[in-house]
Amino acid sequence: MSPADLRERVDKALHEFLQRAVAPLAGLSPDLAPFGVVTETFVLDGGKRLRPAFCYWGHRAAGGDDSDALIRAAASLELLQACALVHDDVIDSSDTRRGAPSVHRRFAAIHRSEGWHGDPEAFGSASAILLGDLALIWADTMLAESGLGVDALQRAFGVWDAMRVEVMCGQYLDVVEQARGGGSVERALRVARFKSAKYTVERPLHLGAALAGAGGDMLSALSAFGLPIGEAFQLRDDLLGVYGDPAETGKPAGDDLREGKRTVLVAFALEGANDTQRETLRRLLGDPALGEDGVTILREVIDATGARDRVEGLIDERYEQAQRALESPLLDSTAADALRVLAAAATRRAH
Amino acid sequence: MSPADLRERVDKALHEFLQRAVAPLAGLSPDLAPFGVVTETFVLDGGKRLRPAFCYWGHRAAGGDDSDALIRAAASLELLQACALVHDDVIDSSDTRRGAPSVHRRFAAIHRSEGWHGDPEAFGSASAILLGDLALIWADTMLAESGLGVDALQRAFGVWDAMRVEVMCGQYLDVVEQARGGGSVERALRVARFKSAKYTVERPLHLGAALAGAGGDMLSALSAFGLPIGEAFQLRDDLLGVYGDPAETGKPAGDDLREGKRTVLVAFALEGANDTQRETLRRLLGDPALGEDGVTILREVIDATGARDRVEGLIDERYEQAQRALESPLLDSTAADALRVLAAAATRRAH
């Protein structure tokens, strides 16, 4: 099955689930209508569906069969991700997500257009916190009602549970890392490992495999692929956050610089900088008013410290390691081929 | 079993679960330690354990047996409630909860004492959003790992799921109601019905009963008791929010007035006010700087409009209705007696 076909099936499953999940809200109160509309728009209008893809192919790699129930179970990861993103945007006060206004901005706009009392921004944040909670609950419902058997769900519960805890802990570590402003390479890599390697790739692979009844050897074989490719994926994302094209990333150019994200890239830059460069980095990184010129200066300084090349080097190493792991005889060969394609797509250089 | 014994068992179950749930966090990063400490302190240092009690007695009312597994399942409702409260305090920017600093204030204090970069308040809110998410996830884990059989859990999943959705929707309707500032009695009653009648009483009763395999008649019999007593409970809470003793409520005197909560009490006051009184209400309600004098004035005005008496009248009606419902021959008589005691405690007049 091609990535595009898989994506289409995942989107269809999400659409069908949300239609069903949102329906009872109308019976509670017409005021709840925006919850349904905003959730559905947010979930369906973007995202690369990487987590469902890794879950699906983890299942197939472990010898599990294709089924619509599997697609629904895999798609539930997008609702967990919706919670993480919506709450993350509140936490970072991000105005945009996937090229459109973030959820709290959408609710602030509703507040304004209704001419309600109080602060539209506060209303927006409150609504986004609650919508994120709802998405977290719906993720659970979608998995439980996927149509996979009770035994399969029981087997997968430990992975599902660990993954949900890890994503929230990863977000918190990220927030602490920003607050600490330390910029240590080691800590930045640890955040990357949680937020991305485990949560985006390894856990979804394990979830799919556990649903197929996989044992420890299979899970290890999938980790040997998933952890390096997940780190590579996060490192690519860090580069895109600084050097990426807004049309591709859906975020304004240099947004990560304006937020002062303590990525591995930034940690390398601080480590490799001379005094003048370090001064520039300290002065401009995290400046919320950073303009186009500031972004250009920071890009050049980071490049000049050698940080960009070092990150590309780490990506290459991890990509190679992941490719070798796919040669494991334990993995179904169709699935290994599909994972190879996914790995390349998720870590390829920006154009 | 006495309310105190039940409470002790619920607290013990929560303590044991949280010890187990928090343990893996230390392996992820020592920075996660505050999550464990703050969650445990918050969950164990307060709360009336009403929801676990209704769940427990709903189970017994439907003929289910006492067991430690049941206690664990019932106690999981406190983690769901922890999520709701922690997020609610972020939404309302409340400084205190249960007589102690709210969770976001505790994390802001950590930020300050560590001397971290950025805004301590923003760090506090971010951490509280994520801690609330974690509590929502752990609620689920605690129920799933309660030790009740898969069949019982399957039977109860629909109720569990509906309850979680309703609490978030109820919170949102509350936020919308504040923003609208309308003060309609009908809408305020609808919020009370969701936030309290269904979520605090009816759903916990149903959850316990569903875990015991109850059918539609039993659920209806429990609703006939739970809905009126839940509304009475919320109405009592509204009165306590205005007239209650801070030592009893754990919140500063008149906190609801300062927040401008659009309760049934306030809606009645606006409805019954003459022009002068309405002017005073509009001017002082929701004033964040409202001092002791302002609180006293508002209390007197609300009383003078007859709103306080009308709310007491509604409580009495609902209390009587709930007592009559407990005479249903379907309900186990020991459980009916225990529910009678709970109902009286949850709706009794402030001292």
Q: Which residue of A has its CA nearest to B180?
A: A116
The CATH fold of domain A1-148: Farnesyl Diphosphate Synthase (1.10.600)
Interface residue B90 vs chain A (CB under 8 A) = yes
Average pLDDT of the residues of chain B? 92
For residue A90, the chain B residues in CB contact (below 8 A) are 129
**Percent of chain B as helix, strand, coil, to the nearest 5:** 80, 0, 20
pLDDT at site B192: 78
- Sequence-distant (6+) residues with CB within 8 A of B311 are B235, B238, B239, B264, B265, B268
- Tell me what the mean pLDDT of segment A1-27 comes to: 93
Same fold, B1-148 and B151-351: yes
Query: How many C-beta atoms lie closer than 10 Å to residue A321's C-beta?
Result: 16
CATH number of A156-351: 1.10.600.10
Q: Which of B127, B172, B180 lies closest to A175 in CB terms? A: B127
> What count of other Cβ atoms lies within 10 Å of the Cβ of residue B65?
9
Strand ranges, E, within chain B: 96-97, 100-101
A56 Cα to chain B: minimum distance (Å): 23
What residues of chain A lie within 8 A of the CB of B176, using their CB? 31, 116
**Residues B109-145: pLDDT tens digits?**
999 999 998 899 999 999 999 999 999 999 999 999 9
Residues 242-301 of A with CB under 8 A from B: none
Q: Return the closest-CA partner of residue B185 out of B97, B268, B71, B82.
A: B268
Distance of CA B282 to the CA centre of its chain: 27
pLDDT digits (tens, 9 = 90+) for B281-325: 999 998 888 999 999 999 999 999 999 999 999 999 999 999 999
Residue A66's CB is within 10 A of a number of other CB atoms, namely 13
Q: Does domain B151-351 have CATH number 1.10.600.10?
A: yes
Inter-residue contact A194 to A170 (CB < 8 Å): yes
Determine whether B15 is exposed, middle or buried from the number of CB atoms within 10 Å of its CB (0-12, 13-18, 19+).
Answer: middle
C-alpha distance from residue B342 to each of B70, B78, B238 (Å): 18, 17, 18
The sign of the CA dihedral A161, B107, A39, B80 is positive
- Parallel/antiparallel/unpaired status of strands B96-97 and B100-101: antiparallel
- The beta-carbon neighbor of A87 closest among B111, B133, B169 is B133
- Closest of A129, A96, A138 to residue A256, by C-alpha: A96
Nearest-Cα distance to chain A for B148, in Å, is: 13
pLDDT per residue over A133-155, tens digit each?
999 999 999 999 999 999 999 99
Residue with more model confidence, B330 or A192: B330
For A201, A245, B68, the CA distances from B147, given in Å and listed in that order, are 31, 52, 8
Using CA atoms, how far apart are residues A57 and A74, in angstroms rounded to an integer?
10
Q: What pLDDT is stored for residue B147 in this prediction? A: 96
Mean pLDDT is lowest, of A27-36, A304-313, A334-343, B266-275, for A27-36
Please report, for chain B, the start and end positions of each structural domain, with discontinuous segments joined by +: 1-148, 151-351
pLDDT at A183: 66
Minimal Cβ distance to B172: which of A87, A127, A176: A127
Show residues of chain A in contact with B28, CB under 8 Å. Answer: 166, 169, 173, 194
Rounded (10°) CA dihedral A84, A88, A89, A90: 110
Question: What global pTM score does this model have?
Answer: 0.92
Say whether residue A83 is in contact with chain B using an 8 A CB cutoff: yes
Q: What residue of A is the nearest CA neighbor of B112?
A: A179
Report pLDDT digits (tens) over A231-259: 999 999 899 989 988 877 777 778 889 88
Of A117, A129, A180, the CB nearest to B90: A129
Alpha helices in B62-149 (DSSP H): 68-92, 103-114, 120-144
SS3 (DSSP) at B96: strand
Give the tens place of pLDDT for each residue, B224-235: 999 999 999 999
Displacement of CA A289 from its chain's centroid (Å): 26
Query: Nearest-CA residue of chain B relative to A159?
Result: B141
Residue A125 forms contact with B (CB below 8 Å): yes
Reading the block at residue B223, the tokens are 């609703």
- Out of A28, A116, A194, the one facing B28 most closely (by C-beta) is A194
Which bin fits B115, alpha (ψ -120 to 50), beta or left (φ > 0)? Answer: left
